[in-house]
A and B are shown apart, each in its own frame.
Chain A
Amino acid sequence: MTHADEDPAVHILWMNGGLGCDGDSVALTAATQPSIEEIVLGALPGLPKVAVHWPLIDFECGPEQGADTFIEWWHKADRGELDPFVLVVEGSIPNEAIKSEGYWCGFGNNPATGQPMTTSEWLDRLAPKATAILAVGTCATYGGIHAMAGNPTGAMGVPDYLGWDWTSKAGLPIVCVPGCPIHPDNLSETILYLLYQVAGQAPMIPLDEALRPRWLFEATVHQGCDRAGYYEEGTFASEYGTPECLVKLGCWGPVVKCNVPKRGWINGVGGCPNVGGICIACTMPGFPDKFMPFMDEPPGARVSTSASGAYGTVIRTLRGFTQRTADKEPKWRVKGSQLRTGYQKTW
């Protein structure tokens, strides 16, 4: 996907060959701030030209030894012929060392063996050459669902595989944008930031200790949830489908770093606890095991909900008084020949 025939300044190589579901690729097509077509068509000022090599919607699908070979871009990068490039990884990295033969996942073939080239081998080959590595989705960042207890593949995230203190040849740490799937605009915004940084127009991307962009993942779900008012007043839903706070029904929002309730899911529509869906902590390194069973009340919530239940009752009563006053208009708004607003008539 490139909008010009001249050599683009930055290549984006998107590898969806990890243990994943392509949900993050699909999510990116929903982004509007900016949209993928705006990034590719250079619709924002100061963007470098980009060529996105993205399995999901790539035009190219052709022969390995012929024209329009999609996988050839990866081989070019491997041979050092692509610079700069950003490697995007989707899906978790299985442990290929725990078995004697075969592959848990592959992306294209290894020309030397004719067998699938494993995702971890691509990482080994391309990591030293990449300007930046972007791990998208909770699988690629921390292992995610496929790294659940009892899994057969020994799956892990990109930082677990390359090392948490890994930096690219350009000095960038692994950039992690978690979410299951990733919030569309969180991803396109991070890509945008990296492109500005690669073009020398933005400083080092500010990341937290889990390598997440700070401006997107600093606040908790609860801090941005419009049901937090119910929490404060000690009003908790006892069944799904009602508008109150869901914390007693399994919502982990108070301890999860994610901006979805604040941002909505797509163009401000949808979300999780703000629209009746318990937060299952899908952006967190501890996901999913530390939050299951999802529909049980988080153990830590019991203490805080009892506290808020106690003072919330008092608060609710006091607010009730104020509300009744606020619900009445001032008495001077009436029909009749008298003006009662306090103005001294001059006629």
Chain B
Amino acid sequence: MTATDKGPARASAKDTELTEMAWDPITRIVGSLGIYTKIDFKAKRVAECHSTSSIFRGYSIFMKGKDPRDAHFITSRICGICGDNHATCSVYNQNMAYGVRPPHLGEWIINLGEAAEYMFDHNIFQENLVGVDFCEKMVGETNPGVLERANATEAPHAAEHGYRTIGDIMRSLNPLEGEFYREALQVSRSTREMFCLMEGRHVHPSTLYPGGVGTVATVQLFTDYLTRLMRYVEFMKRVVPMHDDLFDFFYEALPGYEEVGRRRVLLGCWGSLNNPEYCDFTYRNMADWGRKMFVTPGVVVDGKLVTTSLLDINLGIRILLGHSFYEDWEDQEMFVTHDPLGNPVDRRHPWNQHTIPRPAKRDFDDKYSWTMSPRWFDGKDYLPLDTGGGPIARLWATALAGLVDCGYVKSTGHSVQINLPRTVSRPAVTFEWKPPADKEGKPLSNAIERDRARTYFQAYAAACALYFTEQALAEVRAGRTKTWESFKVPDESVSCGFTEAVRGVLSHHMVVRGGKIANYHPYPPTPWNGSVRDVYGTPGPYEDAVQNTPIFEENPPERFKGIDIMRAVRSFDPCLPCGVHMYLGGGRVLNTAHSPTGVTLAI
């Protein structure tokens, strides 16, 4: 039983004075998202939140009738920072459709490329986009008292990262002027070089194909990657303790900060980084080879692992409508009534989805977004899973599953150990990530912990890459340098691909008829995180997390930035062009004679 009511009870104040505020477009994220809120300044809390995406492109529509072998080239263009995740997911999907199993070396190369994507993307987002929310300039403008305290607080891990005080860390994150900010930009370039060694170019790969890769596997290729990787490993030995110091300080300086961006622990992870020894890309064996991934798939509800089966995960996906600019497809044809194992497939599953756009005025009481409402059905409830930006869900599922052990990373069943070897100027280091809990011991999914997990996952990806490099070099040294296997496109097929994009769950579902794409539906993480209220009234994760957010900012309304709301939203690493625009001062003040839109859900 997984109840769907939210954690803390909402104040049902009558005659509350609420101020409408909207951030649109939100900067320092990727993609198109607006956050519209009603804020109760007296109570210092966000009363209501709607998230909206204002861009529609229509991939599922224009892919119909195209050659399925074009799918990874096309779907990569869905996203400009994690497009390679789509290309990867699509070739996984195509491998299943065509019944092809790439040579092991081809798979190690894809893993090395995807590991580099994690290392690049989390680094640039964390330091150059999110980091700005924690930099001296921002903290000085929003919480001067906190900055004063930071300048007087010694950093516990100064010996590891070299910054004497928390204030020094904050200064190093100042845009452009900050030394660490600029260093991180350079790191985002060398990690992209690593990526390009394996996948050709960034962000839309040139060397990925169904059946493997076009990358020419030589000793030089892996040497060039490994030398850059070891520099990154050395970098992470500084960054993990540095961010631990920064994030721990916020809890200490602002008691109650645990509640910012907090929501119930409802985390989805679709698994990533296949193990070619086991992965044959058949649907029949998907649950088995899914459990051999180097990031374990899983659904975590209230801190407990509900499943690690990709079959369960697949069959549980439902796409709901309610407040989106689309017509329903209840009366449309079903493409897939049963999966290849004979399990019934729901009409609201991506395999059976029809995308029928219906542009309309934005009305927050009715239709207000181009995002839909993906949910995961556990047999009882339609759970609005989030990914927490990706890392927190990946680490949580992997930690509890106890399945991963390749030396450099090991799941203990209650934590994840990351073992980084000796580097040019630093000894070997072990980092351990444990599922976060609040002061009462309850599982904790909030802004700070999403951000912290991001840093730990950078180290995790680097550690995995060390193992992949060893495996790949072993293949090359043994003379097994083939990276691609030929295939034929069947007339009819039903297939799916699962991976973890940088920001979390990613699935691609395809139906081929007459050798052409009959249906293709990609579901990246942001449609989950940035989803809108569904037909049952359940808010999406951003909406839910922001609605729970207390306000710690010291500014009065006329100078208010909404930094706590921004930290809550950015902790999910949104991947939609979006922004925040606020009605303040000259904005509208609402005198409501009723409590804000409810969050109690129809079950």
Contacts and interface: CB of A to CB of B under 8 A. Distances in A.
Interface stretch (B24-32, B281-289, B449-457): B24-32
B359 A240 contact: no
Most buried by B among A63, A115, A151, A181: A63
B560 interface: yes
Contact of A19 (B25, B55, B66, B200): B55
A103 B200 contact: no
Contacts of A150: 61-62, 64-65
A55 B483 contact: no
A265 B200 CA distance: 8
Given A1-B176, A57-B129, A151-B61, A21 B83 contact: yes
B542 interface: no
Contacts of A64: 22, 581-584, 587
Interface stretch (B187-195, B419-427, B462-470, B504-512): B187-195
Interface string B578-603: 01111111110000000000000000
Nearest to A96: B359
Given A30-B202, A102-B361, A276 B197 contact: no
Given A67-B561, A69-B581, A22 B81 contact: yes
B213 interface: yes
B558 interface: yes
B77 A145 contact: yes
B78 interface: yes
A296 B69 CA distance: 10
A242 B216 contact: yes
Contact of B124 (A3, A29, A60): A29
Most buried by A among B28, B65, B138, B325: B28
A288 B175 CA distance: 37
B204 to A, nearest CB: 6
Contact of A295 (B23, B57, B69): B69
Contacts of B558: 66
Contact of B577 (A16, A99, A271): A16
Contact of B200 (A37, A104, A270): A270
B265 interface: no
A66 B559 contact: yes
Given A108-B581, A151-B58, A277-B200, A240 B213 contact: yes
B217 interface: yes
B561 A61 contact: yes
How many interface residues does chain A have, given as a range?
35 or more
B58 A152 contact: yes
Nearest to A119: B55
Contact of B216 (A17, A71, A275): A275
Contacts of B65: 150
B581 A240 contact: no
B582 A241 contact: no
Interface string A59-75: 11111111111110000
B182 interface: yes
B359 A66 contact: no
Contact of A67 (B25, B30, B200, B559): B559
B189 A103 contact: no
A285 B213 CA distance: 27
A294 B587 CA distance: 52
B131 to A, nearest CB: 10
A253 to B, nearest CB: 11
Given A62-B582, A272-B201, A277-B201, A105 B212 contact: no
B106 interface: yes
Contacts of B206: 270-273, 275-280
A35 B317 CA distance: 43
Contacts of A102: 325, 358-362
Given A101-B359, A101-B360, A270-B193, A63 B27 contact: no
B69 A23 contact: no
Contact of A288 (B74, B566, B584): B74
Given A151-B61, A152-B58, A240-B214, A107 B586 contact: no
Given A61-B579, A63-B582, A240-B483, A276 B215 contact: yes
A306 interface: no
Given A62-B562, A104-B359, A270-B193, A153 B54 contact: no
Given A115-B362, A292-B66, A276 B201 contact: no
Given A70-B27, A106-B55, A181-B204, A61 B214 contact: no
A279 B200 CA distance: 11
Most buried by B among A23, A69, A101, A116: A23
A101 B361 CA distance: 6
B221 to A, nearest CB: 9
Contact of A116 (B31, B212, B362, B584): B362
A105 B216 contact: no
Contact of A241 (B27, B196, B212, B577): B212
Contacts of A243: 216
Interface string B108-134: 000000000000000010001100100
Contacts of B362: 102-103, 115-116
Given A22-B30, A181-B204, A294-B69, A277 B21 contact: no
Contacts of B189: 30, 32, 266-267
A25 interface: yes
Given A63-B582, A64-B583, A65-B586, A21 B200 contact: no
A195 B207 CA distance: 35
B35 to A, nearest CB: 10
A59 B566 CA distance: 12
Nearest to B203: A23
Contacts of A295: 67, 69-70, 209
B175 A1 contact: yes
Interface string A230-265: 000000000111110010000000000000100001
B215 A241 contact: yes
A241 B106 contact: yes
B383 to A, nearest CB: 28
B21 A63 contact: yes
Contacts of B582: 62-66
B382 interface: no
B486 interface: yes
B484 A239 contact: yes
Nearest to B198: A270
Most buried by B among A62, A181, A295, A296: A62
A61 B580 contact: yes
Nearest to B190: A267
Nearest to A150: B62
Interface string A169-195: 000000000001100000000000000
A9 B132 CA distance: 25
Interface string A297-327: 0000000000000000000000000000000
A293 interface: yes
Contact of B213 (A17, A260, A276): A276
Most buried by B among A55, A144, A260, A279: A55
A234 to B, nearest CB: 20
B79 interface: yes
A258 to B, nearest CB: 11
B541 interface: no
5 contacts: A62-B562, A63-B561, A65-B584, A270-B201, A277-B208
Interface of B: 21-28, 30-32, 34, 54-58, 61-62, 64-67, 69-70, 73-74, 77-81, 83, 106, 124, 128-129, 132, 137-138, 175-177, 182, 185, 188-189, 192-193, 195-197, 200-209, 211-217, 224, 325, 357-362, 481-484, 486, 558-562, 566, 577, 579-587
5 closest Cβ pairs, A-B complex: A277-B206, A23-B80, A270-B196, A102-B359, A276-B214
Given A41-B176, A55-B25, A55-B577, 20 more contacts: A17-B25, A40-B176, A57-B27, A59-B138, A63-B583, A65-B585, A66-B559, A68-B561, A105-B32, A108-B24, A151-B61, A240-B207, A241-B212, A241-B481, A265-B200, A270-B195, A275-B206, A275-B207, A277-B201, A277-B205
